Amino acid sequence: MGDDWGWWRTVTLNLARIQDLAIAENPRLVPPGGAHEPVEQIERISRAVDEAPKSLRWKIRARVGERKRWYTLPDEDSHD
């Protein structure tokens, strides 16, 4: 992800959404005495992603940010 800003952005957006869900629904989603704490794991992954070195290409694309779409929309396919 340190070379592809679009991939980094997609992953970090999804991690944030999952973290919000895990915080709100933790008692319902995680059984008591579970071996793993999902919120802590997401925070560790997020820190590792943020702390990883970024390429020059990544830094240049980051300046543009979300003003320019970084993903492609799937083609509409009629299921005739």
Residue found by looking up tokens 């320019």 in the block:
68
Residue 78 confidence (pLDDT): 66
What is the pLDDT confidence band of residue 80, given thresholds at 50, 70 and 90?
low
pTM to 2 decimal places: 0.75
Of 50, 48, 25, the closest CA to residue 38 belongs to: 25
3-state secondary structure of 67: helix
Question: pLDDT by residue (tens digit) across 8-57?
Answer: 999 999 999 999 988 887 777 777 777 778 888 999 999 999 999 999 99
Please tell me which residue, 27 or 7, carries the higher pLDDT value.
7
Any idea where the domains of the chain sit in the sequence? 5-67
Give the per-residue pLDDT at 13: 95
